[in-house]
C-alpha cells in the first residue's frame, strides 16, 4: 500500500484541537483527551517532540516521542503515542509517522527506540511488530 502524500511538521498550537479530536475518538483511556491536552503541553515543555502528519493542511495523524538520554552508551528514544484520525486509519499514515519519527531520532544520534503499550493492546503490538519492534522487557504492576 502506498503511503499518502503527507507533510510532516512540528505540532503548533493551532493543531491541538485536531489532535484532541483524534484522541477523543480513541476512547476514554487517552491521557491526552483525559487532560484536555495538558499532558501534551507538559510534554512539549519538557522538550519532547510532537509532530503532525498533514494531508491538504488537515491533521491526519500525530506522534509524540522523546530522547530519554544515554543508557549504556546508547541514546535511547521513547515513542509515547501515534494516533491517526479515524477516517484515515489503515492508509499508511501511522507507519509514515513512525518512520518519520525514527528518521528524526536517528539524525539526533539515537540508536534505539522503545514503545510501551498495554498488555492487551494486540493491535498496537501487531502494528509495531510489522515495523520491526520486538518485545524487550515485560513490566508488571499492581495497585496498592
| Torsion sign over Cα 55, 56, 59, 60 | negative
Position 1 scores a pLDDT of: 47
In CATH terms, 7-130 corresponds, of 2.60.120.10, 2.70.150.10, 3.30.70.60, 3.40.630.30, to 3.40.630.30
The ranges assigned to domains in the chain are 7-130
Of residues 59 and 38, more confidently modeled: 59
Q: 52 and 9 in contact (C-beta within 8 Å)?
A: yes
Grid coordinates of 61: 495523524
Name the region of 11 (left: φ>0; alpha: ψ -120 to 50; beta: rest): beta
DSSP state of 87: G
Contacting residues for 34 by C-beta, under 8 A, at least 6 apart:
28
The angle subtended at Cα 139 by Cα 36 and Cα 117, nearest 5°, is 40
| Residue 26: pLDDT over 70 | yes
How high is the pLDDT of residue 31? 85
| Grid cell digits, residue 104 | 528524526
Strand ordering across the sheet containing 110-115:
7-10, 49-55, 58-71, 74-84, 110-115
Half-sphere exposure of 15 (CA within 13 A, CB side): 22
The string of pLDDT tens digits covering residues 53-105 is 999 999 999 999 999 876 777 889 999 999 999 999 999 999 999 999 999 99
Amino acid at each position: 500500500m502506498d503511503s499518502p502524500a503527507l507533510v510532516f511538521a512540528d505540532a503548533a498550537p493551532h493543531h491541538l484541537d485536531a489532535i484532541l479530536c483524534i484522541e477523543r475518538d480513541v476512547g476514554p483511556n487517552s491521557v491526552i483527551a483525559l487532560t484536555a491536552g495538558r499532558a501534551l503541553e507538559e510534554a512539549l515543555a519538557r522538550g519532547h517532540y510532537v509532530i503532525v502528519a498533514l494531508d491538504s493542511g488537515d491533521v491526519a495523524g500525530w506522534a509524540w516521542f522523546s530522547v530519554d538520554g544515554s543508557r549504556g552508551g546508547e541514546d535511547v528514544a521513547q515513542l509515547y503515542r501515534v494516533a491517526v484520525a479515524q477516517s484515515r486509519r489503515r492508509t499508511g499514515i501511522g507507519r509514515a509517522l513512525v518512520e518519520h519519527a525514527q528518521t528524526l531520532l536517528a539524525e539526533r544520534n539515537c540508536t534505539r527506540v522503545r514503545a510501551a503499550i498495554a498488555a492487551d493492546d494486540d493491535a498496537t503490538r501487531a502494528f509495531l511488530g510489522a515495523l520491526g519492534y520486538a518485545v524487550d522487557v515485560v513490566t508488571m504492576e499492581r495497585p496498592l
